[in-house]
Amino acid sequence: MPTSWRARLVDLLYPLGAAALAFVLGALVLAALGVSPVEAYAALLRGAFGTRNALAETLVKATPLLLVGLGICVAFRGQVINIGGEGQMIVGALLATALGLAWPDAPGWLLIPLAMAVAMVGGAVWGGIPGVLKAYYNVNEILSTIMMNAIAVQLMNYLLRGPMIDPVQAQRASQIPQTAALNVAYRLPRWVPTRLHLGAALAVLLAFAVYFWLWRTGWGYRIRAVGYNPHASRYAGIPVKRYTVLALVLSGALAGLAGMVQVYGVNYRMITDGSATGFTGGAGFNGIVAALLGQLHPLGTIPAAVLFGALLVGANAMQRAVQVPSALVTALNGLVVVFVVSSEYFRRRAQRRRLLEQTRATPPAPARGPSPR
Partner 1 sequence: MESWGNILLGIAASGIRLATPYLYAAMGETLSQRSGVLNLGVEGQMLMGAFAAFYVAYRTGSAGLGLLAAVGVGLLMGLAMAFVSVHLHAEQGISGIGFYLFGLGLSDLLFQKLLGTVDSVQGVPDAHFPLLSDLPVLGELFFRHNWMVYGAYALVPLVWFVLNKTPWGLMIKAAGENPHAADSLGVSIAKVRYATVTLGGVLSALGGASLSIGLLKIFQQNMTSGLGFIAVALVYFGSWRPVGVLLGALLFSLVNALQLWVQVLGLPIPADFAVMAPYVLTIVVLVLVVQRARPPAALTKPFVRE
Residues that bind partner 1 (CB under 8 A): 29, 33, 81, 83, 133, 137-140, 142-144, 146-148, 150-151, 154-155, 157-158, 161-162, 275-276, 285, 288-289, 292, 324-325, 327-339, 341-342, 344-345
Least Å distance, CB 38 to partner 1, is 18
Please tell me the distance from the alpha carbon of residue 128 to that of residue 126, in angstroms, as a whole number.
Answer: 6
Give the residue with the Cβ less far from partner 1, 56 or 153: 153
Decide: helix, strand or coil at residue 197: strand
We find the least distance from the C-beta atom of residue 154 to partner 1, in angstroms, to be: 4
Cα pseudo-dihedral 296, 49, 254, 261, rounded to 10: 180
Give min distance, CB of 331 to partner 1, in A.
3
* Smallest separation (angstroms) from partner 1 to the CB of 333: 5
Q: CB 20: neighbour CB atoms within 10 A? A: 13
Least separation in angstroms between residue 221's CB and partner 1 is 22
Q: How far is the CB of 141 from partner 1 (least distance, A)?
A: 9
Q: Give 197 or 347: the residue with its C-beta nearer to partner 1.
A: 347
Q: Which residues are bridge partners to 190 per DSSP?
A: 197
**Nearest approach, Cβ of residue 288 and partner 1 (Å):** 7
Closest residue by Cα to residue 258 from 74, 108, 87, 14? 87
C-beta of 219 vs 345, nearer to partner 1: 345
Closer Cβ to partner 1, 262 or 286, answer by number = 286
How far from chain centre, in Å, is Cα 9? Answer: 24
Nearer to partner 1, 82 or 265 (CB): 82
Q: Which is nearer to partner 1, 158 or 219 (CB)?
A: 158
In single-letter form, the type of residue at position 173 comes to: A
Rounded to whole angstroms, what are the CA distances from 291 to 74, 124, 248, 310? 10, 19, 15, 15
Query: What's at 175, amino acid-wise?
Result: Q
Least Å distance between CB 144 and partner 1? 6
Find the distance separating the first CA and the last CA of the chain, reported in whole Å. Answer: 11
Q: How far is the CB of 26 from partner 1 (least distance, A)?
A: 10
Residue 106 vs 139, nearer CB to partner 1: 139
What DSSP string runs through 101-162?
HHSTTS-HHHHHHHHHHHHHHHHHHHHHHHHHHHHHH---HHHHHHHHHHHHHHHHHHHHHT
Longest dimension (CA), the chain: 79
The burial of 349, by beta-carbon neighbours within 10 Å (0-12 exposed, 13-18 middle, 19 or more buried), is given as exposed
Nearer to partner 1, 138 or 362 (CB): 138
115-118 LR contacts (CB < 8 Å, sep 24+): 115/186, 115/260, 115/264, 116/257, 116/260, 118/92, 118/260
